[in-house]
Amino acid sequence: MNKRGKYTTLNLEEKMKVLSRIEAGRSLKSVMDEFGISKSTFYDIKKNKKLILDFVLKQDMPLVGAEKRKRTTGAKYGDVDDAVYMWYQQKRSAGVPVRGVELQAAAERFARCFGRTDFKASTGWLFRFRNRHAIGNRKGCGEQVLSSVSENVEPFRQKLSMIIKEEKLCLAQLYSGDETDLFWKSMPENSQASRKDICLPGKKINKERLSAFLCANADGTHKLKSIIIGKSKLPKSVKEDTSTLPVIYKPSKDVWFTRELFSEWFFQNFVPEVRHFQLNVLRFHDEDVRALLLLDSCPAHPSSESLTSEDGRIKCMFFPHNTSTLIQPMNQGVILSCKRLYRWKQLEESLVIFEESDDEQEKGDKGVSKIKIYNIKSAIFNWAKSWEEVKQITIANAWENLLYKKEPEYDFQGLEHGDYREILEKCGELETKLDDDRVWLNGDEEKGCLLKTKGGITKEVVQKGGEAEKQTAEFKLSAVRESLDYLLDFVDATPEFQRFHFTLKEMQQEIVKKQFQSKIHSRIGSFLKPRPHNIKDSFSGPSTSGSNH
């Protein structure tokens, strides 16, 4: 038992340990005895749990520097501090050494951007900045600058092999994850819709972007839910809570992954899901539960020291800088397979089968109207279904190059360029070319995290939070009723669709009921509507009741 004075102040590392004891169900007395704290200190730490966890995750210091820091107070110039730290993390992730004088110079530049004329990047400021963010006074920060990308692949393989042997890891305990862009509404150039200016490069469609993250283990037996990053807290097409979606949905103003979002996912989703899978599916004993997650080096990923479970058995390892295209398993056909499956579902849902009598104008109008109906909710469900359909063998093959130096066998699950050409032609899209289709199928090559410029960092610090999407457009009940009547006629005349009759009939009755209620409400509102205001009414007249008020 660790006996302390009554007024002992715990540092952040000790507070984190207190919180872990509370999470484990330890009693108040046992925690007080272990850390030598009073009851009020215990409850203060418990009450401030979110503040402490958020601060530690943001500062990227669960293991380094937390043993010294006691308070979670921020810098005097928080905007400058945040911008410099974001800039520092980008440099570190890129393998660029950052010296103290460079931190000071960056701080001066950002201070000018924010109009902080009284800010001085003094030696004292540098000391406090390093202390706040647990940055040691080292010659090099982050990964070493690589002289040659390919030269670093083999040493990484050897290091990975050594870890696998030391930790006694099996394939099911090796994981890989990667971010990617998803232009969820784009169509091939020269399609009917693109000629109506909705999908041309540089037009509205390029703004219809989501960021996605896929993660699975090396034998393909465990695929985690995909993360989707969107701009809005609640997309307009999602009426209910985002927790009902088949993905983990998170909002971000620039639709990029951030360090905070990734840390949150690692500790709240990855660690518990890996434990559950190994205990309940693989039937491992608790002491055998462990995992290694391989990631790219990018600004959205905190340090490997930060991304470690409390017991140290679930951890991360980063690929050498700029080697992900060579050895990152997700880039060996896994993400591409998922995207091709998604594009197929997108075409099925958003393309129109044109009539022979339709002219070019009618085809374009029909195509645009159908594509406009295709919304983020549809895209999210199609993406989740596509990830579910990526074959286990596709994921397993993607690890061949990294683990065994073998060229991976790409399996696009029967979805080659010609297959998309066929469905496009069936829908009357005769003007698109095979090259257009290839560009469209392979176009989302950007990562879901971005190296920001000075201006971009400044803008992000100033403009925190996301914009809410506009409310869903109103539908006319009369138009919905008319469509249902038409569908019922079709169903009644087509034997193979008659099983849907009662469902459509029930919908029709509900719409009629809503129409009736709407008319009643409208009449009541009209009856209760106040008379037009007359200025004479503003003056009090003599009472006609004979009573004095």
Q: SS3 of 281, please?
A: helix
Q: SS3 of 12, please?
A: helix
Surface-to-core class of residue 18, CB atoms within 10 Å of its CB (0-12 exposed, 13-18 middle, 19+ buried): buried
CA angle 45, 51, 55 (to 5 degrees): 115
pLDDT tens string 369-415: 666 778 889 999 999 999 999 999 999 999 998 998 887 666 665 56
- pLDDT of 452 reads 60
DSSP 267: I
State yes or no: pLDDT of 436 exceeds 90: no
Bridge partners of 248, per DSSP, are: 227
Range in 185-199, 203-217, 317-331, 521-535 with the lowest mean pLDDT: 521-535
Query: Where are the strands (E) in 352-482, listed by range?
Result: none
Residue 230 sits at φ, ψ, to 5 deg, of -120, 175
Q: Regarding predicted confidence, which is higher, 235 or 368? A: 235
Q: Band of the pLDDT at 417, cuts 50, 70, 90?
A: low
- pLDDT of 77 reads 82
Name the average pLDDT for the chain. Answer: 75
Sign of dihedral through CA atoms 201, 205, 211, 216? Answer: negative
pLDDT tens string 12-59: 778 878 887 887 778 888 888 888 888 888 888 888 877 776 665 554
pLDDT tens string 127-137: 778 777 766 55
CA–CA gap between residue 210 and residue 346 (Å, rounded): 15
Q: Regarding predicted confidence, which is higher, 339 or 526? A: 339
Token representation of residue 105: 């110079």
CA–CA gap between residue 382 and residue 385 (Å, rounded): 5
Q: Regarding predicted confidence, which is higher, 66 or 160? A: 160
Q: How many residues does the chain have?
A: 549
CA–CA gap between residue 108 and residue 119 (Å, rounded): 8
Sign of dihedral through CA atoms 57, 62, 65, 70? Answer: positive
